[in-house]
Amino acid sequence: MDFQRILIYLPILIFSFMMHEIGHAYMADLRGDDTARRLGRITLNPIPHLDLFGSLIFPAMLLLMNSHFLFAWAKPVPFNPSKLKNPRRDIPLIAFAGPFVHILLIIASFIFLKLSLVFSQFTMGFTQSIIEFLYIMISVNMVLFIFNLLPIPPLDGSKIISYFLPQDMAAKYMSMNQYIGFIILMIFVSTGFFGYILNFFTRWTSLIFFTILGY
């Protein structure tokens, strides 16, 4: 990935995972826990959301590995299960709120992509740059959506899956050492397995959106 594309990717990446965490915080607030709101996590200021490893070190590792895709994560949103209206149901809802934000950003990007092509005469000289920006926005959010739904603790997918497991099994599953989860993620990335999953979902999702929007 060349330096110019990195300069485009990084702001989009930071904005996207920031919105992801705002989604978690907002859903927790809706379900009765105001912890994240009181700690200033429902904010467009990226600084409270940045995580040293997930936001900086891990993306740098991917760049050093010459990865074809770039992703990261933010500082987890704190919440107090005892404040939730129904913790067993609300925790998966809070977990899914983050990935759901990526779906909203993907839909919005496709709509703006359509509009930029339809009204290209009004964006003369900028159309190609706008299209490239929106394609990157779509691809970054597709990566973040799929990555966060992997059922590996501590990712959001594990919290969603736990809702459908018996309570004792869910507790053991969620207590898995997070370093084990990280090792599994690195295996997924280094072997290309995550890339295969990503390409499959990206191809079909793009086909669906392009069909809906009449490309």
- From 13, 21, 31, 105, the catalytic residue: 21
Q: What ranges in 52-155 are assigned the alpha helix state H?
A: 58-64, 87-118, 127-148
pTM (2 d.p.): 0.84
Q: State pLDDT tens for residues 123-177.
A: 666 777 888 888 889 888 988 898 888 888 878 998 899 888 888 888 787 777 6
- The whole-number average pLDDT for the span 104-130 is 81
- Is residue 132 part of the annotated active site? The answer reads no
What is the average pLDDT score of the chain? 83
Q: State pLDDT tens for residues 167-207.
A: 888 878 777 766 677 777 777 777 777 777 777 777 777 77
Gyration radius from the chain CA atoms: 18
